[in-house]
Amino acid sequence: MSFGELGLVALCLYVVAMLAVTEAARRARQDFTPADHFLAGRGLGAFVLFLTLYATAYSGNSLLGYPGEAYRRGFSWIMSTGFMMAIIVAFHLLVPKLRPVAVSRGFLTPGDWLRHRFGGEPWGRAVLAACALLMTWALANFLLAQLVAMGHVTEQVTEGLLPFWVGVVGLAALILFYESLGGMRAVAWTDAAQGILMLAGLAALLGWVLGDSGGLASATRAIAELRPEAVAVPDAREKANWVSTVLLLGLASVVYPQAIQRIYAARSGRSLAHALAWMSFMPLATTTVVFLIGIAAIPRLAGLEGVEADTVMPRLLAEWAGEGPHFAALAALVFVGALAAIMSTADSVLLSLASLVAIDLLGRPASDPETTRVGKRIATGVMVVAVLLALAPRLTLWRLIELKMELLIQCVPAFLIAIHWSRLRAGPTFAGIVAGSALAGGAALLGTKRIEGVHVGVIGLALNAAIALAGSAWAAAQAGRVGSGGVATPSASAR
Amino acid sequence: MIRRALLAGVALLYAASIPWYRDPGSPVEVWLGLPDWVAVALGCYVGAAVLNALAWYRSDVPDREAPPPSGPPGEGP
């Protein structure tokens, strides 16, 4: 049996397993309310929550893109472990204060917090609309990237037996199927299964790469001979970029809608805290492993330049598969693990996107079962458009949607500052979002992604936060308010 | 208090993970199979993971809002 045929069998087994999990989730459904569909009835326990957070946070890019980045940049890419862990650290700023408000008031979407916090102010709706648009943009971008990755992985794992378009269309249809049938419960359970698959695949690959390279020390010495700059201490600009990347990824990922909705979906605060405690170790178990795989590829696959470096993972797997049938089976497992990572991110993104559009942008009532049906129709529509775009990735639009974290991070003041500082007002917050987004988006579109190593998104956030803080302080002074801040005071009750 | 101390430890480890203490171009040794500054960064991240996990175990994540205190408006809940 060739590697492609083996990959096809593994892919089929994976699809069957996902369908079985979907059926179990469908049977566990309690009702047709949006809370049951979008948040699994708010009943996710620590273990499932941990695995769904894990599978959602680690996308296809984490497994397929990061080895290429480690190959290109060398050892300074150890920063990837730091920025993935920063997400779990930054959650300390949000979870303990957002969770009790969210549970008490039955929040369903990120917009519910904004309605609660700014709803009674003249600019409250503007803040909600701005954040909902930025989040929708980021999610749509993310979904599209996952669909393209799904096509490539399908093609690679089956050695072309299934072409790119079959991967995109077929797997998109599978996601739509299990999501429509089982909602968040199906997404979380399939994520859990997919998370286990990812871990198994990565452990096997790392064992092979390091064993075959004669150990880490000999790989490092070989890299020092071949590419001394990959081993050298980073310069000032790279160090600034290290800090900036930790801030950008750590803060922007905290306001990802699918992450916020998992805060709402937890069975209890204790389950959530335990899941996040376990998540602290996953960057070491995943990102560091992927980093080491990319590093070990430098002497093995010398001479890859530019975007060619993104093919590091498939090339390594192809080499591995060539060493015998057992290795081919393990390589197929890693490929399916990567596919699982992509699928689990795509399904969570789609579910969040549907709820965000239905409730935050279209204003559908959160308690109406009809909202669930509207959400499913939106998910189908979004998926159809995304599949069409994924099949034509050379569109100009492709360049525009590269902006993601730079824009998403502009929502941070409306969440992280608003939840800690009661005097933050909607007007200055909205002005900050507009200014920060214009700066970050404008600079990125003009081709400037970083200034002296610092991401334009982080610079935009600094401007954004300065406007929000100064404007709110000025408004408070104008109103003659005195006293210290403290915990945020909602300006209106939740819908 | 302990949680705050743990989080302060995480912040310090993050600051120490970036090789500010080394000049670009200075000679690099291999520690634990990695360039010395990478081994230090990885050690910091292992420490940060442990402290952050402990901080989460000590975190109080309530499931209900606290009742609003009786005080001047704008200073609750």
CATH number at residue A110: 1.20.1730.10
The residue among A335 and A486 whose pLDDT is bigger is A335
With beta carbons less than 8 A apart as the criterion, state whether A269 and A59 touch: no
Q: Which of A446, A79, A328, A103 is nearest to B64 (CA)?
A: A103
- Encode pLDDT of A156-210 as tens digits: 888 889 998 999 999 999 888 887 877 777 777 777 777 777 777 778 877 887 7
Of A82, A232, A489, the CB nearest to B25: A232
pLDDT band at residue A241, thresholds of 50, 70 and 90?
A: very high
Of B38, B49, B54, the CB nearest to A78: B38
The residue among B45 and A39 whose pLDDT is bigger is B45
Is A85's CB within 8 Å of B23's CB? no
In this structure, the dihedral spanned by the alpha carbons of residues A373, A374, A376 and A379, taken in order and rounded to 10 degrees, is 180
Instruction: Tell me the whole-structure pTM to 2 decimals.
Output: 0.86
The neighbouring-strand residues paired with A44 are A266
Angle A130-A133-A136 from CA coordinates, rounded to 5°: 150
- Encode pLDDT of A342-355 as tens digits: 888 888 888 888 88
Q: What are the chain A neighbours of B48 within 8 Å (beta carbons)?
A: 82, 85, 89
- Please provide the average confidence, as pLDDT, over all residues in chain A: 85
In this structure, the dihedral spanned by the alpha carbons of residues A83, A86, A88 and A93, taken in order and rounded to 10 degrees, is -150
- Please provide the average confidence, as pLDDT, over all residues in chain B: 88
With beta carbons less than 8 A apart as the criterion, state whether A34 and A355 touch: yes
Shortest Cα distance from A46 to chain B (angstroms)? 12
In this predicted structure, the answer to whether residue A61 has a pLDDT above a threshold of 80 is no
> What integer pLDDT is reported at residue A481 of this predicted model?
55
Average pLDDT estimate for A46-63: 80
> What integer pLDDT is reported at residue A3 of this predicted model?
80
Q: Which of A345, A348, A350 is nearest to A386 (CA)?
A: A350
Does some domain include residue A318?
A: yes
Is A239's CB within 8 Å of B56's CB? no
Q: What is the ipTM of this complex?
A: 0.88
In this predicted structure, the answer to whether residue A398 has a pLDDT above a threshold of 60 is no
With beta carbons less than 8 A apart as the criterion, state whether A490 and A105 touch: no
pLDDT winner (highest mean) among A3-7, A196-200, A213-217, A473-477: A473-477
Domain spans, chain B: 2-57
Q: Which of B42, B14, B58, B19 is nearest to A283 (CA)?
A: B42
- Encode pLDDT of A91-102 as tens digits: 999 999 999 999
Does some domain include residue A47?
A: yes
> What integer pLDDT is reported at residue A242 of this predicted model?
95
User: Phi-psi bin for A88: left (phi > 0), alpha (psi -120 to 50), beta?
Assistant: alpha
Does some domain include residue A161?
A: yes
Does some domain include residue A483?
A: no
> What integer pLDDT is reported at residue B77 of this predicted model?
36
Is A96's CB within 8 Å of B60's CB? yes
Of A103, A277, A484, the CB nearest to B53: A277
Does some domain include residue A123?
A: yes
% of chain A beyond a pLDDT of 70: 95
With tokens 């060398």, the residue in question is A74
Q: What are the chain B neighbours of A84 within 8 Å (beta carbons)?
A: none
Q: What gap in Å lies between CA A165 and CA A242, rounded to an integer?
A: 37
The tally of CA atoms less than 13 A away on the side-chain side of residue A241 is: 16
- Encode pLDDT of A113-123 as tens digits: 999 999 889 99
The tokens describing A159, both together, are: 């050695």
Average pLDDT estimate for A435-460: 91
Shortest Cα distance from A295 to chain B (angstroms)? 10
Task: Compute chain B's Rg from CA coordinates.
Answer: 20
Q: In this structure, what DSSP letter does residue B71 have? A: S
- Three-state secondary structure call for residue B13: helix
Q: What are the chain B neighbours of A272 within 8 Å (beta carbons)?
A: 61
Is A82's CB within 8 Å of B41's CB? yes
Average pLDDT estimate for A298-307: 81
Least confident of A11-15, A127-131, A139-143, A390-394: A390-394
Q: How far apart are the first and last CA of chain B?
A: 21
In this predicted structure, the answer to whether residue A490 has a pLDDT above a threshold of 80 is no
How many domains does chain A divide into? 1
Does some domain include residue A375?
A: yes
Of B28, B34, B65, the CB nearest to A233: B28
pLDDT band at residue A467, thresholds of 50, 70 and 90?
A: very high
> What integer pLDDT is reported at residue A492 of this predicted model?
41
Q: Domain range spanning residue A25?
A: 3-405
Is B24's CB within 8 Å of A101's CB? no
Q: Which of A404, A400, A77 is nearest to A246 (CA)?
A: A77
Shortest Cα distance from B73 to chain A (angstroms)? 9
The tokens describing A30, both together, are: 């309690």
Beta-sheet pairing, A454-455 with A450-451:
antiparallel
With tokens 């803040």, the residue in question is A127
Question: C-alpha B69: how far from its chain's center?
Answer: 32
Q: What gap in Å lies between CA A15 and CA A280, rounded to an integer?
A: 30
In this predicted structure, the answer to whether residue A88 has a pLDDT above a threshold of 60 is yes
In this structure, the dihedral spanned by the alpha carbons of residues A132, B60, B10 and A242, taken in order and rounded to 10 degrees, is -10
**Continuous segment of H or E residues that includes residue B30:** strand B30-31
Q: What gap in Å lies between CA A309 and CA B6, rounded to an integer?
A: 39
Other beta carbons within 10 angstroms of residue A305's beta carbon come to 7
Is A231's CB within 8 Å of B35's CB? yes
The tokens describing A197, both together, are: 């698959």
Does some domain include residue A204?
A: yes
Shortest Cα distance from A75 to chain B (angstroms)? 7
In this structure, the dihedral spanned by the alpha carbons of residues A366, A368, A370 and A374, taken in order and rounded to 10 degrees, is 0
In this predicted structure, the answer to whether residue A212 has a pLDDT above a threshold of 80 is no
Other beta carbons within 10 angstroms of residue B70's beta carbon come to 6
The tokens describing A9, both together, are: 């069998």
In this predicted structure, the answer to whether residue A268 has a pLDDT above a threshold of 90 is yes
With beta carbons less than 8 A apart as the criterion, state whether A461 and A436 touch: yes
Is A243's CB within 8 Å of B76's CB? no
The neighbouring-strand residues paired with B35 are B30
Does some domain include residue A36?
A: yes
Is A220's CB within 8 Å of B60's CB? no
Distances (CA, A) of A387 to A146, A172, A173, B44: 10, 7, 10, 42
Q: What gap in Å lies between CA A289 and CA A206, rounded to an integer?
A: 7
pLDDT band at residue A393, thresholds of 50, 70 and 90?
A: low
> What integer pLDDT is reported at residue A360 of this predicted model?
87
Secondary structure of chain A in the HEC alphabet? CCHHHHHHHHHHHHHHHHHHHHHHHHHHCCCCCHHHHHHHHHCECHHHHHHHHHHHHCCHHHHHHHHHHHHHHHHHHHHHHHHHHHHHHHHHHCHHHHHHHHHHHCCCCHHHHHHHHHCCCCCHHHHHHHHHHHHHHHHHHHHHHHHHHHHHHHHHHCCCCCCHHHHHHHHHHHHHHHHHHHHHHHHHHHHHHHHHHHHHHHHHHHHHHHHHCCCHHHHHHHHHHHCHHHHCCCCHHHHHHHHHHHHHHHHHHHCCHHHHHHHHHECCHHHHHHHHHHHCCHHHHHHHHHHHHHHHHHHHCCCCCHHHHHHHHHHHHHHHHCCCHHHHHHHHHHHHHHHHHHHHHHHHHHHHHHHHHHHHHCCCCCCCHHHHHHHHHHHHHHHHHHHHHHHCCCCCHHHHCCCCHHHHHHHHHHHHHHHHCCCCCHHHHHHHHHHHHHHHHHHHHCCCCEECCEEHHHHHHHHHHHHHHHHHHHHHHHCCCCCCCCCCCCCCCCC
